[in-house]
Amino acid sequence: MSAALPRKRVGVLISGRGSNMVSLAEAAQAPGYPAEIALVISNIPDVAGLDRARDFGIATATVDHRAFNRDREAFERAMDEVLRVNQIEFIVLAGFMRILTPWFVTRWEGRMINIHPSLLPLFKGTHTHRQALEAGVTEHGCSAHFVVPELDAGPVILQAKVPVLPGDDEEALAKRVLVEEHKLYPAALAEVASGRAKLEGGAVVRG
Catalytic residues: 116
Give the 3-state DSSP-derived string for 1-22, with helices as H, strands as E and coil as C: CCCCCCCEEEEEEECCCCHHHH
Using CA atoms, how far apart are residues 185 and 177, in angstroms rounded to an integer?
Answer: 12
Q: Which residues contact 94 (CB under 8 A, 6 or more apart)?
A: 12, 13, 14, 18, 19, 20, 21, 24, 49, 115, 185
Question: DSSP letters along 74-114, please?
Answer: HHHHHHHHHHHHTT--EEEESS---PPPHHHHHHTTTSEEE
Using CA atoms, how far apart are residues 123 and 7, in angstroms rounded to an integer?
Answer: 34
Angle between helical axes of 128-135 and 170-193 (0-180°, round to 10) = 120
Using CA atoms, how far apart are residues 92 and 206, in angstroms rounded to an integer?
Answer: 19
Question: DSSP letters along 154-202, please?
Answer: SPEEEEEEEEPPTT--HHHHHHHHHHHHHHHHHHHHHHHHTTSEEEETT
